[in-house]
Structure 1
């Protein structure tokens, strides 16, 4: 909560080593509901820290951070997906962040495959008369994935 309102709180957290702790936490969570809640809070905190360019740079420079966040984006299907997406967009607002993403060709290939799968799924859902909510969620996820792909290509 404090990171959403205060740059000083964010700076103190980063100085205390919160980025490494949060990344370690993200890597260790399971798919259980309580762990997914913890994951959402960890991603939200990192997103709040990355609002400040100098702290976003610290995040980018932290070993394995971009890879961890991108991996979480690729594997999450719930709210964590959108939090990771916001965080990756903030990372991509820094040229160093774009380069860090480009240095992960295997994960970028998975991102490309995800956009293709979501595109195919969105087209199938348009033809299906089933739930509107599922279609909207798929289209929203597709939009986020395509934006990220575009940011990594264009810098």
Structure 2
């Protein structure tokens, strides 16, 4: 195994780079730079009822691990209620989305290979700049990061 240029990473609770999305927040625990492109890991804290439009990642699988609360995960035509302790994996190319359950919730998102950190950074920049993204604007942004938005943008997402 080639370990040249590799280094270990330790983030204690609360550590990592924060991304403020307005309606929700994320903390980058690992990105392509830290993992050599192997994966990215983000911690998300989201309000009740929150969720993105249905979408598909062409270049990365996505996993969720629910830390607190409850998520309703939609994969293709199936809905799964996922309380704390649940794990979900969605392979690249599969349609999916989620909605936070009745209470604010927190989860880990893992993208493999590393993906999506740039999308969340760009979306946070738009939110901070007061830019309101319609379906077309969010769709164009998503395409830059290998994601296809398939449904309308829910109220409060962007």
TM range, smaller chain: under 0.3
**Greater percentage in strand:** 2
TM-score (normalizing by structure 1): 0.25
**Greater percentage in helix:** 1
Q: Name the structure, 1 or 2, with higher relative contact order (CA <8 Å, separation 6+).
A: 2
TM-score (normalizing by structure 2): 0.24
